[in-house]
Amino acid sequence: MIERFEDLRCWQEARYLVKIVYEMTAKGEVSGDYGFKDQVRRAALSVMSNIAEGFGRMSCRESIRFYEIASASANEVRSITYAAKDLGYWTDQEVETLHQSTLKIRAMNRKLIKYLMSRNKT
């Protein structure tokens, strides 16, 4: 039973994403690239925050909007990882870890949106 946003698996995965992004941006060359570091951290936090905000909305339509924003922010994180790889900030394995997390979040959000859309039709 889902009673709080913390119960959502997509939010739990987004929390994990934030943790690894913060860990990965706290070390190495990327830690000194403040603009880059800030952008990827804000994007990761946006994923988690928009899922929580969507859960708190009173209408399905509003909830869906925030889940879509969370998915877009997950795409932003994923896009940024390519720049991090190209700049030599992160290894292939680190990039793959983030890619998998963002793809997982997007898939879970998609299922949640489909559920809300089907529920809204009745």
What total of structural domains would you count in the chain?
1
Please give the model's pTM, rounded to 2 decimal places.
0.93
> Can you point out the beta strands (E) in 1-122?
none
Angle at 59 between CA 64 and CA 2, to 5 degrees: 75
pLDDT per residue over 27-69, tens digit each? 999 999 999 999 999 999 999 999 999 999 989 999 999 999 9
Task: Judge whether residue 122 has pLDDT over 60.
Answer: no
Q: Note down the domain range covering 68.
A: 5-120
CATH number of the domain bearing residue 77? 1.20.1440.60
Show Cβ contacts of residue 40 under 8 Å, excluding neighbours closer than 6 positions: 21, 25, 77, 80, 81, 84
The per-residue pLDDT for 15 is 98
